[in-house]
Amino acid sequence: MKIIIIGCGKVGAYVAKQLLDSHHQVTIIERDQKRFEQVIQIFSQAEVLHGDGTSPILLEKCSVETANAVAYLTGKDEINLVGSTVAKFNYAVDRVVARVNNPKNEWLFNADMGVDSRVSQASLLASVIINEVNIESTATLLKLNDDENAIVEFVLSKGASVHGKTVKTINFPSDVVLISVHRQGQNIIPKGETVLLEGDHILAYTNSQNQEKLAQLFR
């Protein structure tokens, strides 16, 4: 599938890697000159363009009208909102995903503005896009703004001590929140009665001190 990413900071780079690893056709648009030069070196498999991702001229240069999805992942809400509107209403892109940086702006990011999915938690962006285009998720770690907490994804290994146990019976470290369990193409919101099984992709929110403890549980 053809996917265009606008903005290739930490979030955009994370999403781009996920998509490229799954052999999708990816175009990246980056406005910052220095970052643009870095992106070219890092993502040699992708088409990388320099400029304003809201510009019709630049969007047409990368054939936005043929894209299956466009993701506006910049750190500026105004760019993400304007770009989403242009992509949806000028070029009828099937799926438009936008990052919301300021939670106060969430109400603006809606279908009337061309946004199919708004995501205010940067760590979940890749999951939203991946699920919609049927890409297999890979284990990764995405740090949040404070550099202490992170969204961590583990794959439950064969022989792990927590295999077959319900969430409520597992002695998780403090300050750990299970976000989702991805199993055989389905996302499960974990509850106390949810049973963890070998091969589950488990997304958890935790601090840096507890990451290794979690890893030991899932190995």
Query: What is the residue-averaged pLDDT of the chain?
Result: 83
pLDDT, residue 129, reads 57
Q: Is the separation of the CB atoms in 190 and 167 below 8 Å?
A: yes
Above pLDDT 70, what percent of the chain? 85
Closest to 117 (Cα-Cα) out of 134, 132, 103 = 132
Q: Is the separation of the CB atoms in 84 and 115 below 8 Å?
A: yes
Domains assigned to the chain: 2-132 (3.40.50.720), 141-218 (3.30.70.1450)
Average pLDDT estimate for 150-160: 80
Q: Is the separation of the CB atoms in 117 and 70 below 8 Å?
A: no
Q: Cβ–Cβ contacts within 10 Å for residue 44, how many?
A: 9
Q: Is the separation of the CB atoms in 36 and 149 below 8 Å?
A: no
The SS3 assignment for 154 reads: strand
Strands 186-188 and 177-183: antiparallel
- Angle 153-1-28 (CA atoms, 0-180°, nearest 5)? 75
pLDDT, residue 154, reads 83
Length of the chain in residues, anyone? 219
pLDDT in tens, 165-197: 999 999 988 777 777 788 887 778 788 899 999
> Which amino acid, one-letter code, is at 12?
G
pLDDT in tens, 47-96: 999 999 999 999 999 999 999 999 999 999 999 999 999 999 999 999 99
The tokens describing 173, both together, are 């470290």
Residue 177 backbone zone (phi > 0: left; psi -120 to 50: alpha; other: beta): beta
pTM of the model: 0.59
Range of lowest pLDDT (111-125, 129-143, 150-164, 166-180): 129-143
What's the start-to-end Cα distance of the chain, in Å? 33
Q: Phi first, then psi: what are they for 144, rounded to 5°?
A: -95, -175
Residue 140 has pLDDT above 50, yes or no: no
